[in-house]
Amino acid sequence: MKLFCITAALCLFTGLASANPAVDGKITQQMQFRVMLDDRQIGYHTFTVNNVGGAKVIRSKAEFDVRILFIRAYTYTHENVETWEDGCLSRIAARTDDNGKRFEVSGVKLNDAFKLDTLEKSESLTHDCVMTFAYWDPKFLNQARLLNSQTGDYVPISTKRLGERKFKTADKTIITQGFHIQSKEHNMSIKVWYEKDSGEWVALESDLEGGEMLRYLPVEGEKLSSDTTAFPSAESG
Least confident of 55-59, 176-180, 194-198: 194-198
101-110 and 88-98: which strand pairing? antiparallel
The rounded distance, in Å, linking the Cα atoms of 111 and 157 is 26
The rounded distance, in Å, linking the Cα atoms of 236 and 234 is 7
The total number of residues shown for the chain amounts to 237
**pLDDT tens column, 101-151:** 999 999 999 988 999 999 999 999 998 899 999 887 788 899 999 999 999
Spatial neighbors of 237 by CB under 8 A, at least 6 apart, are 163, 164
State residue 202's pLDDT score: 75
- Angle, vertex CA 132, rays to CA 127 and CA 134, nearest 5: 125
State residue 28's pLDDT score: 67
- What's the chain's Rg over C-alpha atoms? 17
Least confident of 26-40, 53-67, 82-96, 185-199: 26-40
Q: Which of 118, 113, 178 is nearest to 148 (CA)?
A: 118
